[in-house]
Amino acid sequence: MVRILLAEDMLLLRKALVKLLELESDLEVVAELAEGSSVVETALRVRPDVAILDVNLPGLDGLDAAAQLHERLPDCRTIILTSLGGPGNLRRALKAHVSGFLLKDADPGELAHAIRIVAAGRQVFDPELAVATLQIGDNPLTARETEVLGLAARGEDIPDIAQQLFLSTGTVRNYLTTAVTKLNARNRVDAMRIARDAGWL
């Protein structure tokens, strides 16, 4: 019997997934949660074989919860089930050591199949998303350019970024301009969007 922890904040969808999984004779939902901050604590208590986590969970997002689960309960495999299927989320998921990444519009039978595969120690990723992620390639920005663009994406202005990084405002502007150029972006906002979608921020 594969023991499952399910974390999904939408009540209707969570209950539907529980009912769906209960139809499978070899799967058992041992915990269902509406937010991410209690995922690890609950998993340590109920010891699931597989955790199914949404990305956008209140309290702690599913990818951060997955990373913490990997640290605290490495025997528990994690599947991300999300409607946010961008390459950036898949890259973050891989860094968090997830074993599966499926979109919510997948066929219901795919989820049960993915749970069994992941419980057996293998991995399952949405093939189209995996291809899209590989096509993006590596981050063309240097570590410093990424750091500056990331701070700008969080709403920091140029003088604040310069102060935090012990740089001149001119140097910060140069890093941002270089980032826009390297990403073939129209402007800084577009560069932030491109980098975020690719999982570089």
Taking only the tens place, the pLDDT of each residue in 96-140 is 999 999 888 888 789 999 999 999 999 998 776 665 666 566 788
Residue 117's SS3 state is helix
For residue 144, what pLDDT is reported? 93
Q: Which two tokens stand for residue 140?
A: 């063309």
For residue 35, what pLDDT is reported? 94
Q: Which two tokens stand for residue 144?
A: 């410093």
**Looking at 74-181, which runs of residues are DSSP E strands?**
77-82, 100-103, 124-125
Q: Which ranges in the chain are annotated with CATH 1.10.10.10? A: 143-198
CATH of domain 143-198: 1.10.10.10
Non-local CB neighbours of 87 within 8 Å, separated by 6+ positions: 129, 132, 133, 136, 197, 198, 199
Instruction: Say what the alpha-carbon torsion angle 16, 22, 23, 25 is, to the nearest 10 degrees.
Output: 160
Cα–Cα distance, 115 to 111 (Å, whole number): 6
- How does pLDDT run across 33-68, given as a tens digit for each residue? 999 999 999 999 999 999 999 998 999 999 999 999
Chain mean pLDDT for the chain: 90
Instruction: Check residue 33 and report its DSSP letter.
Output: E
Q: Which ranges in the chain are annotated with CATH 3.40.50.2300? A: 2-135
Q: Which two tokens stand for residue 58?
A: 């209140």
Report CA-CA distances (Å) from 143 to 33, 93, 98, 177: 37, 20, 25, 15
CATH of domain 2-135: 3.40.50.2300
Query: Taking the model in full, what pTM does it have?
Result: 0.71
Work out the average pLDDT over 159-174: 93
Cα–Cα distance, 71 to 44 (Å, whole number): 11
For residue 168, what pLDDT is reported? 94
Backbone angles phi and psi of 10, in degrees to 5: -85, 110
